[in-house]
Structure 1
Amino acid sequence: MTTLANPMQQELQIQQQIQLITELNQQHVRQVMDYSKGFLDKTFPLARGSHKDVASYVVYYQQLLAFFQDGSTSGLQEPAQFIALIGHRETPEALLLQNDGRHVELVLNRRGMQGSQDPAGIDDIQLQTTVPECHWFSLISGRQISCRSRAEKSFTAKDGSDYLL
């Protein structure tokens, strides 16, 4: 019996360790997302409320609207900071914001690793860096993003024209 119990105990310990690592990882992702949304609140503040409480983003005419769980909405405090989007205005795949000449992209994907856990579906927040060449940085993963992966993106300006980075 002890030989059977030993492998079973080991399997149970492994499962418990995997569960603990998963919980720690989820907690870390929530902390990173909270920090990132705090960045959005400081750099791209809403007229009312916080990006932390947004349930979805929609483009209405040429304005970015944030919808909250209670049905209320808010635009950006500075509407001109919204520049372009990818996808449909009612269900955008990405939103492009601009502050002091630098772009920030909100990648929206409710099926993505982070997006499936986020009420607004934010899967990543990518920042254009100050390096002269094309360099972007992911706030969520902490990794640099190559220009090749960004070259495939086709943005539509808020007026409906093509927007090139």
Structure 2
Amino acid sequence: MAITIINNTNKAQQETPFMAEAVYAVETMDTSKREEKQNQIKSLLDQLFPLTKGSHKDVTNYLLDYHHLVVFFKDGGCSGLRNPGKFVAFTGHRSSPNTILLKDNSGSHVEIIFGHHEPGKNTLVTIEDIEMETCTTFTQDFGLAAMRHWISLLKRDEKSNHKAHREDKEYTAKNGDDYQLACCFSI
């Protein structure tokens, strides 16, 4: 049992630098090259949340089947996440979600926000934005608390800096329950 814990700990520790490198590659891209940016952001998804087969670059539709995220390709094939447990919640309709919420091994959330897409059309999905959760912890009189921030990878503010904001977010969990992420919470 101790070996399993050590291996899981090492895996989570190795994921963080890899995620940082992948995010940096997306952040340093020229935002004026929309198609290239879409390919790069989908490559990031392939690295962080790989599919059992295929690539996020070739997806025409994301939908939810019971508790699973299913993707469809132009050739009619379908796939799911290699690690289905990383899909946790969504907004919108199960057949055409507005957003999907994934969770990495460290417990941080990644929100994928889709652009306008017509289900049934055989065109590639456009990702409007990806927001990554980052938390700041601080001590209180009665314990440890945290503040959740969201960093946008695609959208920029008026000074061309990455947008960062703090807000409460509400989703539908994959089992149909409410899934809420408050900007301030106790640990």
Alignment length (residue pairs): 132
Question: Which of 61, 64, 76 lines up with 2:66 in the alignment?
Answer: 61
Q: Which runs of 5+ in 1 are unaligned?
A: 1-23, 112-117
Do the aligned partners of 1:33 and 1:140 also contact (CA within 8 Å) in 2?
A: no
Q: Which runs of 5+ in 2 are unaligned?
A: 1-29, 118-122, 138-146, 157-161, 182-187
Cα distance in 1 between the residues matched to 2:31 and 2:126: 18
1:140 aligns with 2:154: yes
Cα distance in 2 between the residues matched to 1:130 and 1:147: 10
1:108 aligns with 2:93: no
Q: TM-score, normalised by structure 1?
A: 0.73
Secondary structure of the residue aligned to 2:85 is helix
Cα drift, residue 130 of structure 1: 4.6
Cα distance in 2 between the residues matched to 1:71 and 1:92: 19
CA pair 162-25 structure 1, distance change in 2 beyond 3 A: closer
1:38 aligns with 2:43: yes
Do the aligned partners of 1:56 and 1:121 also contact (CA within 8 Å) in 2?
A: no
Q: TM-score, normalised by structure 2?
A: 0.65
- Partner AA of 1:138 in structure 2: S
1:50 aligns with 2:55: yes
Deviating beyond 6 angstroms after TM superposition, the runs of 4 or more aligned structure 1 residues are none
Query: What is the aligned partner in structure 2 of residue 85 from structure 1?
Result: 90
Cα drift, residue 138 of structure 1: 1.3
Secondary structure of the residue aligned to 2:47 is helix
Higher strand fraction (1 or 2): 2
Cα distance in 2 between the residues matched to 1:160 and 1:73: 23
CA pair 25-139 structure 1, distance change in 2 beyond 3 A: closer
Cα drift, residue 131 of structure 1: 3.7
Cα distance in 2 between the residues matched to 1:88 and 1:145: 27
Identity of aligned residues (%): 39
Cα drift, residue 163 of structure 1: 0.4
Do the aligned partners of 1:135 and 1:144 also contact (CA within 8 Å) in 2?
A: no
